[in-house]
Amino acid sequence: MAFPIHAVSWASYDDLLFVRQAADIGLGNWLGDYNNLTLSKGIGYSLFMLVNHATGLPLKFSEHAFYLAVSVYFSVTIAQLYRSRVAALVCFFLLAFIPTAWVAGAGGRVVREGLYISQTLLILTLAIRCWVFHHSLSAASQLRRQWRQLVALGLVSGWFWITREEGIWLAPSMLLLMGYWLLRQVDWRTQRRPILAFLALPLVAASMVVMAVNTVNYAVYGTFRNNDFRSNDFQAGYGALTRIRHDNWQRYVLFPKDARERAYEMSSAARELKPFFEGGGAQPWLAAGCDQTQTSHCPEILSGWFMWALRDAVAHAGHYNSARDSRAFYRRLSAEIEEGCRQHAGVCLPMRKTLLPPWHEGYFTDTLKASWAVFRTLATLGKFPAYIQASEGETKYLALFDAVTNGPLAPTANSLGPWGEHTLKSPRDELRMQWAQNLTTAIIPFSTYGLPLAFIAWLLWSAVAGLKLISRHAIPSPGWWVASAIAGGIITRVVLLGFLEATSIPSNNMLYLFPLVPFSLVLLPIIFLGLLRCQRHF
């Protein structure tokens, strides 16, 4: 409660977009009039914000309360797994006092990460309870006992999927836990149907959530989807432009001047984009990319911002008045570029329908280096102390933030709070923030050394478990599977962010790492307790 919202009301593609969509849904307008931002991001966070608005509780209070509830659920689950109350206490302490919750640029903003962190931890907890517990029972018995948890896992996973666009990063962890459950099943001949039903139930529940959103979007906008960036038509149009060869390769540049000129020659659809890209419309995106990457010589729009510039260019050309029109434009753009590439041999790369940049020989080593840097940032938690940051933007938009989130907002830099500061802190809140800073100072060193130590211990545990599997045909203990699922989630997201850092956009920051912090904090105690338990049974 001592931590006000850092409102960034000029962020019309992020913070302000979520607030506006929550307001539009609440007013009965669904996501508002159709434009190039309507289906650009998932609505999971806006729905949460709307429900919270109805309660009258401050948004950050509700985010933290939800997170703490999930932390209790996870801690109790680990305690039941190891039959240790100490495990629950240690895990909950580390989760409850997560330092990044008090970092204005991460936990203080009105962005999806404040909810995404709880969704991620809740999915992991439900997966452990569904696929690691009760493995001694038959599949039919487990299905009768756990169907509610399976449905809950599916519903939360569907909500997770419509909140952010890169939800696939958690799939390896889920597949690992599911694999353990499958290895424990016996008598497949008589249990085939219960086993398939057990696996299918979460998928069906998740699909229902996603399909419900898709259906509403189809009824309102005439397009059966929940996110444009996952759609075949946008990826086809985007991929068509990025397959045109460049005279000189430049890092982070997908559609330079020479490629644009070739596109204009090939496609009438591409020529409709020329006034935007060659005029002043592209300048804000060019400047944003250059500023954030601190690139001195920066004549082109960089890849992390090109997908947004492309959507703005299509809107500028008048093709975002309806979903049908924009869909048809991207398909026409793709078809015309494809035909032009056939007529001009050697001008284009192979056909692409993806948002991934064309592969370059240096990307592999660059990704490894960037992933290591991202891992170091995660281990040190960015070395950020707890702090409050002034809100930014126009007064009318700040008022919208305050109304939708139920406040409180940190005052802007040109206004003073009631205690003569640029915050809403009272002397009591000042004391509470001091405690937060002290806890941050204590937990950061633990994480800095604990996370690398946890990975070393996990690798050793994995080697021993592998030898036992080969020599004794003994399946590793449940604790190893849980620790491996957590470690796998960390590795997957760190490498994903490392790849983005190397190829597209600055991604080595605590905002993108926020959902991993609970994983990184609890990995060491889970491995330590698991090794102790294995030693007792050795």
Of 533, 536, 441, 474, the C-alpha closest to 79 is 533
Amino acid (1-letter code) at residue 498: G
For the record, the structure tokens of 240 come out as: 């068509």
Of 146, 140, 137, the C-alpha closest to 192 is 140
pLDDT, residue 538, reads: 45
Please, how many CA atoms are within 13 Å of residue 43, restricted to the half-sphere of its CB?
Answer: 27
How far is residue 48's CA from residue 53's CA, in Å, rounded to a whole number?
A: 9
CB contact set of 244 (below 8 Å; sequence gap of 6+): 255, 259, 262, 263, 337, 341, 347, 348, 349
**452 preceded by cis ω (within 30°)?**
no
Cα–Cα separations (whole angstroms), residue 494 to 421, 429, 487: 38, 35, 11
CA 348 to chain CA centroid, nearest Å: 32
Give the chain's largest Cα–Cα span.
Answer: 74
CA 40 to chain CA centroid, nearest Å: 14
Spatial contact of 407 and 5, defined as CB atoms under 8 Å apart: yes
Spatial contact of 337 and 263, defined as CB atoms under 8 Å apart: yes
CB contact set of 503 (below 8 Å; sequence gap of 6+): 252, 303, 357, 360, 363, 366, 367
The angle at the Cα of 151, spanning 145 to 156, to the nearest 5 degrees, equals 135
pTM for this prediction: 0.94
Spatial contact of 4 and 98, defined as CB atoms under 8 Å apart: no
How far is residue 470's CA from residue 335's CA, in Å, rounded to a whole number?
A: 53
Amino acid (1-letter code) at residue 478: P
Q: What is the DSSP letter of 408?
A: P
User: pLDDT in tens for each of the 538 residues of the chain?
Assistant: 667 899 999 999 999 999 999 999 999 999 999 999 999 999 999 999 999 999 999 999 999 999 999 999 999 999 999 999 999 999 999 999 998 888 888 889 999 999 999 999 999 999 999 999 876 788 889 999 999 999 999 999 999 999 999 989 999 999 999 999 999 887 777 888 999 999 999 999 999 999 999 999 999 999 999 999 999 999 999 999 999 999 998 888 999 999 999 999 999 999 999 999 998 889 999 988 888 888 777 889 998 899 999 999 999 999 999 999 999 999 999 999 999 999 988 899 999 999 999 999 899 999 999 999 999 999 999 888 788 888 999 999 999 999 999 988 988 887 765 555 545 556 777 788 888 888 888 889 999 999 999 999 999 999 999 998 888 888 899 999 999 999 999 999 999 999 999 998 899 999 999 999 999 999 999 999 988 877 655 4
How far is residue 284's CA from residue 233's CA, in Å, rounded to a whole number?
A: 25
Which runs of consecutive H residues, i.e. helices, occur in 252-351? 257-266, 268-272, 274-278, 283-293, 303-316, 323-343
Spatial contact of 81 and 512, defined as CB atoms under 8 Å apart: no
pLDDT, residue 315, reads: 97
Q: What is the DSSP letter of 229?
A: G
Beta strands in 349-399 (DSSP E): none
For the record, the structure tokens of 474 come out as: 């003994």
How far is residue 288's CA from residue 302's CA, in Å, rounded to a whole number?
A: 9
Of 481, 516, 483, 492, the C-alpha closest to 169 is 492
Of 282, 459, 322, the C-alpha closest to 38 is 322
Of 500, 401, 494, the C-alpha closest to 4 is 401
Helices 517-536 and 113-131 pack at an angle, to 10 degrees, of 20
